Structure 1
Amino acid sequence: MDADLVKAMFATYVVGVSLIRLLDENEYFRLTAMKKIWGRSRGLMLHFLTNVALPMIFALIFFCRGLISMSTF
């Protein structure tokens, strides 16, 4: 299996776990700390961007790179 596809699967896993944690009733330490420091809306936005959106972008990039490398064989 191509390394880029493995990275894409891992990034997708990180996105899934982060979304589950973000939507859960219990808040986790990082989210609570970000909300205290930045305020509620900015803290949620920063948490979403760093823990969900950025890994999702990496997943898409690595998935595309993996598909391209598989198609060149």
Structure 2
Amino acid sequence: MPTNVNAHITGTVWKIEVKPGDSVSEGQVCVILESMKMEMPVEAPVSGNVESIACAEGQAVNEGDVLLTIA
């Protein structure tokens, strides 16, 4: 069952560390968000493969927005 990885803060997508098809481990940093000049890593909640990326670098996101999906 696919797992959505959500933004835990409102901010801007500063860097995407993974791409579709990549294998990720639980706790691995997938996306870095920037908010108020602070970088906040978003980690994979589960191990698996990146199924899709739902954001782009430079995009503004709100808390709870889906950033990527791990299957």
Larger radius of gyration: 1
Question: Which protein has the bigger strand share?
Answer: 2
Higher relative contact order (CA 8 A, sep 6+): 1
Question: Which protein has the bigger helix share?
Answer: 1
TM-score range, shorter chain: under 0.3
What is the TM-score normalised by the length of structure 1?
A: 0.22
What is the TM-score normalised by the length of structure 2?
A: 0.22
